[in-house]
Amino acid sequence: MESAEIVRRFLRFFEERGHTVVPSANLIAEDPTLLLVPAGMVPFKPYFLGQQKPPYTKAASAQKCVRTPDIDEVGKTTRHATFFQMLGNFSFGDYFKEQAIPYGWELLTRPESEGGFGIPESKLWVTVYGDDEKVIDTEARDIWHKKVGVPLDRIQRRGMVDNFWSMGVPGPCGPCSEIYFDRGPEYGREGGPNADENRYIELWNLVFMQYERGPGPGKEGYPILGELPAKNIDTGMGLERLAAVLQGVDNIYEIDTTYKILDRAAELTHTRYGRDARADVSLRVVADHVRSGVMLVNDGVMPGNEGRGYVLRRILRRAIRNLRLLGAGDDRYMHELTDTAIAALGEQYSELRTDAGRIHTVIDAEEASFLSTLRTGTAIFDAAAEETKRKGAKTLGGDQAFQLHDTYGFPIDLTLEMAAEQGLSVDEEGFRRLMAEQRQRAKADAAAKKSGNADITAYADILGSHGNSLFLGYDMVSAEASIVGLLAGGLGQPAVGEGDVEVVLDRTPFYAEGGGQLADQGVIRTHSGAVIEVVDVQSPITGLVVHRGKVRDGVVHVGDQVLAEIDVERRRAISRSHSATHLVHAGFRRALGESAAQAGSENSPGRFRFDFTSPGAVPASVLRDVEQEVNEVLIRDYEVRASVMSQSEARAMGALAMFGEKYGEEVRVVEIGDYSRELCGGTHVARSGQLGLVKVLGESSIGAGVRRVEALVGGDAFRFLARESVLVSQISDALKVRREELPERVEGIVSRLRAAEKELERLRSAQVLAMAGELADKAADVNGVAVVTHRVGDGIGADDLRKLALDVRGRFPADRPAVVVVAGVPKDRPVVVAAVNESGRSRMLKAGELVGVAAKALGGGGGGKDDVAQGGGARPEAIGDALRAVEEVIGQRVGA
């Protein structure tokens, strides 16, 4: 039974029993405390906590999940995976154990011909929560035995670590009961899950969610704060594990949606799965990580160096590296493997097929970038390893490993492997400490942006008490409202005087930052005369709008009646930018194809930036054409329409959904004539002519496979062109040519300047080399070694310094030991070059060590081979000290 059919049967079973089938949520978690969705119940968390009222009392879903804490174990075992799918049925106070337990048993054991999974009852075991005979979930045990008919000898008790569930963070929790499948005696010893979890594998976890846990370490070191508002059911059955059982394969890597990728990777790298343990590990890593990468990119994650972007980058780069371990070298196979993954998962997720172009663009670009990184990073690593060994150390510093990762994108596991090859270890503890600090900063920054450093439960309390904030800003720029919540210092307050404040209104015209659109600003005035200046508006949890600012006058109280007024001119300018972004997006898709998909945007007053996927730079001619086409749309003065409809209706009419954005069942579609049609919750102009003018400033790369266009709108665009016109006039007057002749005249001037610079460079180089003979003649004799140390004049380039050092060294007879060290300041920073001939190296003089001595005195570093090396620093004034330090070392080495 294929995975897609398993999902269909699961959802159909529960739909027939009154459950609402809920589509999988985006992998990007709504919860600001999470980077990615790690469990099937995460989208339902606000309902379990009682923060929001669910629109249904029972639901079923097949939820996409990503977990990476055990990423290093992926491939080494056949249990771990980064991306997986969780089948689950949920009850929000509707039913509890007495129904959830029979549901699970019935679906698993019902014959396939009747819509079930057809697993023999004799193959199933059950566990219930119980730390000892005094603390045991007797209710669950009795339902399993007396109602379902499971023999008592196939019901086992397990403690809190195994059979008490939570998300690992404060939130809902409760005892659970798990269903295990017996794979047979060939997989291990008898005795049930307590005896052997390799033979008896967990299929389904039924969580009886009735408590709320507090903070604490591990799986059992946390307090139970109390009971939830209602007893709930949260079940989770891993689709991949169930597929392995139903498809009769040994593990999750051999099921239909994963093995196709693994098999294609083996074919491309000319290996065979099952023949070599190390190759098998790499094949499993590739299969899992390509699958995960495709799903993450599809849900809007872009490779980056922090947060969820770092998760994706790490996953993709581990896949690419393991392809190299399999013998891929610099060959690029990710495109074909991505194709295979899209085909394997496309029946379950049709959006993968429609979005294939963008997915390919992102992953192909990351592969090209990383292969280049591997070459650069290897050279940097070699220099770091050489310096470590030169100092007599055996451990590469954690800071060096972190720099390799952070600056050059070098994965730590590759650093560890390469260090081992050179007989070195790596300070992993130091590396991981620096990584943890970086991730914590990134996570705190992201959470603070949304939550303002307040405990998210403070917002949840307001939402639970007063419901969603009603947004009026599509039609109104001011509105009467009531204050339903105040926060200061991250805590709820009944009243706040002058100073920082966060205000929640029952209704508001203020737009909360989202979808690339910056937040509104403005003023909130109470009827009693207090004034709040609003500088930012955020939605820290779905449904709640939080106004941040300062109380400028008086005291504000919860319950106060207020007049909320936005800065109208700012709103209009931002709306013009937002509408322009839609038009530019449509223009690029027309010019470059559907793979030019939006990858982010920011709509500011009078200015916007638009990020989109592209394998390379966009030609200037395309930028001009898109700009011209967009401005023609403005001239046509199209009507801008917004309408609310179901997602299916929006897709049917061809509306574009922005990847990375989250949409409910009802969506808002914004149309600009028949030129642009997108799902969008932002504010826009009424007609395209109100934009006035769009001026594209240029485009640039912001990451592998992602380009950024910046542009001006309206008055800002006119003012920019006016300044440009004045500037062109000034240059035209200075050069005494007509405007249309300027490009040719400027090109001629630049050509002559370049020719003059080359001639100056040639003369300077000749002048430098001319002193080679004189320097050789003046060489000092240090116990039989010819030593030349010299500082050249400023402005001499590093290449010329190197040529000079080699020229002087070449003027000494081969049998005379010679050392040449020259230094200069090419561009405000000192550079030193050392050259030692073969006779000099026989006297234990090495260029790399001498450069290291000089560079240290210069406040920098460097190195190289024994015969020639180069380094630098940050202290030009220390060149004299650096050369004297080199002379002292030479004297010590040769016994002067």
How does pLDDT run across 536-546, given as a tens digit for each residue? 999 988 889 99
Longest dimension (CA), the chain: 104
Q: What is the sign of the dihedral through the CA atoms of 768, 769, 771 and 776?
A: positive
Between CA 687 and CA 672 the distance in angstroms is 8
Between CA 528 and CA 524 the distance in angstroms is 12
Between 62-76, 209-223, 314-328, 867-881, the lowest mean confidence (pLDDT) is in: 209-223
Tell me how far the alpha carbon of residue 119 is from its chain's centroid: 40
pLDDT at 647: 80
Q: For 571-721, which CATH superfamily applies? A: Threonyl-trna Synthetase; Chain A, domain 2 (3.30.980.10)
Domains 571-721 and 772-895 share a fold: no
Tokens of 36: 């990615």
Between CA 190 and CA 619 the distance in angstroms is 67
DSSP structure class, residue 517: B
Mean pLDDT value of segment 606-634: 92
Choose between 793 and 658: higher pLDDT. 793
pLDDT at 403: 80
pLDDT at 663: 60
pLDDT at 453: 42
Between CA 331 and CA 368 the distance in angstroms is 10
185, 230 Cβ separation under 8 angstroms: no
pLDDT at 291: 96
Domain boundaries, the chain: 3-249, 257-356, 456-566, 571-721, 772-895
Torsions phi, psi of 834, nearest 5? -120, 140
Q: How far is CA 72 from CA 37, 76, 162, 412, in A?
A: 19, 8, 22, 11
Say whether pLDDT at 747 is over 70.
Answer: yes
The tens digit of pLDDT for each residue in 490-517 reads 888 999 998 999 999 999 999 999 888 9
Cross-sheet strand order for the sheet of 785-791: 780-782, 785-791, 818-824, 831-836, 868-872, 861-864
Confidence of residue 874 (pLDDT cuts 50, 70, 90): confident
Torsion of CA 59, 60, 66, 69, to 10 degrees: 70
Confidence of residue 451 (pLDDT cuts 50, 70, 90): very low
What percent of the chain stands above pLDDT 70? Answer: 96
Confidence of residue 385 (pLDDT cuts 50, 70, 90): confident
* Cα within 13 Å of Cα(371), Cβ side: 15
What percent of the chain stands above pLDDT 90? Answer: 55
Torsions phi, psi of 52, nearest 5? -135, 150
DSSP structure class, residue 329: T
Say whether pLDDT at 861 is over 80.
Answer: no
Say whether pLDDT at 658 is over 80.
Answer: no
DSSP readout, 203-247? EEEEEEEEEEE-S-STTT-S-EEEEEEEEEEEEEEEHHHHHHHHT
Confidence of residue 836 (pLDDT cuts 50, 70, 90): very high
Q: Tell me, which fold does domain 3-249 have in CATH?
A: BirA Bifunctional Protein; domain 2 (3.30.930)
155, 192 Cβ separation under 8 angstroms: no
Q: Does 680 carry a binding-site annotation?
A: yes
Say whether pLDDT at 152 is over 90.
Answer: yes
Confidence of residue 296 (pLDDT cuts 50, 70, 90): very high
Between 197-206, 741-750, 857-866, the lowest mean confidence (pLDDT) is in: 857-866
Q: Does 289 carry a binding-site annotation?
A: no
Q: What is the pTM of this model?
A: 0.66
Say whether pLDDT at 660 is over 70.
Answer: no
Tokens of 520: 């509104």
332, 364 Cβ separation under 8 angstroms: yes
Tokens of 832: 């030193």
* Cα within 13 Å of Cα(854), Cβ side: 33
- SS3 of 740-771: the string is HHHHHHHHHHHHHHHHHHHHHHHHHHHHHHHC
E strands, 654-751, where?
Answer: 666-672, 676-679, 694-703, 706-713
Q: What is the sign of the dihedral through the CA atoms of 358, 363, 366 and 367?
A: negative
* Cα within 13 Å of Cα(441), Cβ side: 8
Say whether pLDDT at 713 is over 90.
Answer: yes
Say whether pLDDT at 569 is over 80.
Answer: yes
Say whether pLDDT at 477 is over 70.
Answer: yes
pLDDT at 798: 82
Torsions phi, psi of 283, nearest 5? -65, -40
Say whether pLDDT at 218 is over 80.
Answer: no
| Strand pairing report for 780-782 and 785-791 | antiparallel
Say whether pLDDT at 204 is over 50.
Answer: yes
CATH number for the region 456-566 comes to 2.40.30.130
Confidence of residue 217 (pLDDT cuts 50, 70, 90): confident
Say whether pLDDT at 681 is over 50.
Answer: yes
Confidence of residue 384 (pLDDT cuts 50, 70, 90): confident
Tokens of 213: 């846990």
- Per DSSP, the three-state class of 152 is helix
Output helix, strand, coil percentages for the chain, rounded to the nearest 5: 45, 25, 30
Neighbours of 639 (CB within 10 A): 11
pLDDT at 467: 84
Choose between 101 and 34: higher pLDDT. 101
Q: Does 547 carry a binding-site annotation?
A: no
Asked: is 772-895 a CATH 3.10.310.40 domain? The reply is: yes
Q: Does 684 carry a binding-site annotation?
A: yes
